Amino acid sequence: MEYLLRMEKLMRTPMKVAAAVFSSALMLVGATACSSNPTDGASGGNGSGAVTAITVRGCTPQHSLLPVNTNEVCGGNVLDASQAKLIHYNSKDAAPQMDIAESIETTDAINWTVKLKQGYKFQDGTEVKAKHFVDAWNWGAYGPHGQVNSYFFEMIEGYADEQCGESGDCQKEKPKADTMSGLKVVDDYTFTIKTTSPTSNLVVRLGYTAFAPQPDAFFADTTEDKSEFAAKPISAGPYRITSVTDTEIVLEKFADYSGKDVGAVDKVTFPIYNDLGAAYNDVVANNLDMTDTIPAGNLVDDLWKSDAPDRWGTKDTGVFQALSYAPGNVDPGLADVKMRQALSMAVNRDEVTKQVFNGARVPATGWVPPMVDGYKANACGDNCVFDAAKAKQLYDEAGGYPGTLSIWVNGDGGHDPWASAVCNQIKNNLGLDCSVQTTPDFATLRDMIMNRELKGLYRAGWQMDYPSIENFLTPLYATGASSNDTDYSSAEFDGLLKEAAAATDNTAANKLYQQAELVLGQDMPTMPLWYQQSQYIFSDKIASVDMTPFSRFDFGSVKLK
């Protein structure tokens, strides 16, 4: 994690954004595709003529598998393998590349022209056209539809008119419009985007899942939550979702996939595991083919490598782990910034990463991982440096925490060891009661967070959506943002984000985003913990497999023995 992938200077005027303009950071992996329609059958080696199939650890998605309503890892892992967008992120270095888009051009970073490749097919055989992007984005942004990724369309002119007034209450106030004025279909293969201000990283953003197109079948589903369509979504990606149950999600290769992100196996099944250790043990015993997460206890002394000799790998990724503080109106005990600073200073990140993770995590000094373009060290300043004496002083000045402080984690993610270590440090260094609270699964934790049911601290990991420092700031901490679980609001922070987004030069934009990150270092809406290198193991059926910078398996790299 010593290197920094750098992005080309994006917005010089005049400019033309095309296929390989960007070389930087990270986001959704583009997974797989090609070949013949698979049928159920025994797994065979590559090239054997038999159906090739693998099983990969899955977890419970929070919502139905609609791209505009999925903003978490469990659903994202599945959508990554099944969706195609305008942009695809290279599986090696996450550099943005054209996929459905033939070109995306602008001269002012406000007015954009998107041209599509002709003949790109949805999985129902219909052709992907400009209207399928424009209609999908308008539907996703429309306030009454309540999609969690609606916020990602905010930069498009007319987004505000699709929202339910200042209150956001769609029962009291309907939107002024159901389409965004900044989107126009020119012809079957061309549409235009107009942003409210210069948006220097627009092309980079357009590979995020929320920007996927939707076929006519999507709009033919009149159920309020698109439940009929969501049962078996139709997309344009290399794999099609063929079955979704409480116990597994099954993907099969799309024979007429039009893109270049070709998969290496015919069928991918995600069995749902609520116990990370069980998935790990199943891979060790060759009963499961891959797991993307290693229990903390198995990292100690590199046990995971000896458990699966010659069947393991590592990848530096754009993944960041933190603890969020419950909003002040939910937990008044955390409203004082001195309390939040004290809790952060009471945590010895070096000790936890060494003792719990055997050095497989890097202590965080800010909110943006080192491999992300725009990273700058020490944005958190002294607030992320262990100092028991200073922490106790601030804690006393804040008046102490009433009752027992809870740290909430999901039970299906193997988080208890590090959460217990952090809790014990806080207890010992500040003299307060602390306990770890575990939910049955990730979906339950996310629901409780979104419903503002939790007091104390809760796990807040973030896996890149798209390759930009902006992705680690705007969606999480901008006022009213889709993933702003702490309800953080700062006029200074929001103003810097707007200035940065309006910059036409990437270097200038990054400097402003870095200033915004320094504001987080003062206000501490969350507690940065560590940057994550991903470790994975695979069964003896697999000869080799790679992981992307987004901490997801690259199914195109799978080689079977």
Give per-residue pLDDT as tens, 138-171: 999 999 999 989 989 999 999 999 999 877 788 8
Domain check: are 338 and 430 in the same one? Answer: yes
What is the distance between the alpha carbons of residues 215 and 97, in angstroms, rounded to a whole number? 23
Answer yes or no: is 279 within a domain: no
What is the distance between the alpha carbons of residues 238 and 535, in angstroms, rounded to a whole number? 25
pLDDT higher than threshold 70 for residue 349: yes
Domain check: are 351 and 476 in the same one? Answer: yes
Bridge-based pairing state of the strands 312-325 and 290-291: unpaired
How many folded domains does the chain comprise?
A: 2
**Confidence category of residue 543, pLDDT binned at 50, 70, 90:** very high
Domain check: are 519 and 467 in the same one? Answer: yes
pLDDT higher than threshold 70 for residue 123: yes
Answer yes or no: is 223 within a domain: yes
Instruction: Say if CB 99 and CB 87 are below 8 A apart.
Output: yes
Answer yes or no: is 178 within a domain: yes
Answer yes or no: is 304 within a domain: no
Domain check: are 395 and 334 in the same one? Answer: yes
The domain that contains 446 carries what CATH number?
3.10.105.10
Give per-residue pLDDT as tens, 414-464: 899 999 999 999 999 999 999 999 999 888 999 999 999 999 999 998 988
Domain check: are 490 and 545 in the same one? Answer: no
Q: Phi and psi for 324 in degrees, rounded to 5?
A: -90, 145
**Residue 196: which domain range?**
53-270+539-560
Domain check: are 213 and 321 in the same one? Answer: no
pLDDT higher than threshold 60 for residue 13: no
Q: Is 408 helix (H, G, I), strand (E, B) or coil?
A: strand
Answer yes or no: is 114 within a domain: yes
Compute the radius of gyration of the chain from its Cα atoms.
Answer: 23
Domain check: are 57 and 203 in the same one? Answer: yes
Instruction: Say if CB 73 and CB 538 are below 8 A apart.
Output: no
What's this model's pTM, rounded to 2 decimal places? 0.77
Domain check: are 504 and 552 in the same one? Answer: no
**Confidence category of residue 404, pLDDT binned at 50, 70, 90:** very high
Domain check: are 469 and 376 in the same one? Answer: yes
Q: Give pLDDT, residue 36.
A: 31
Closest-CA residue to 202 (of 147, 145, 137): 137
Least confident of 100-104, 167-171, 286-290, 336-340: 167-171
DSSP annotation of 297? H
Domain check: are 529 and 543 in the same one? Answer: no
Domain check: are 340 and 399 in the same one? Answer: yes
Amino acid (one-letter) located at 156: I
Answer yes or no: is 213 within a domain: yes
Domain check: are 254 and 363 in the same one? Answer: no
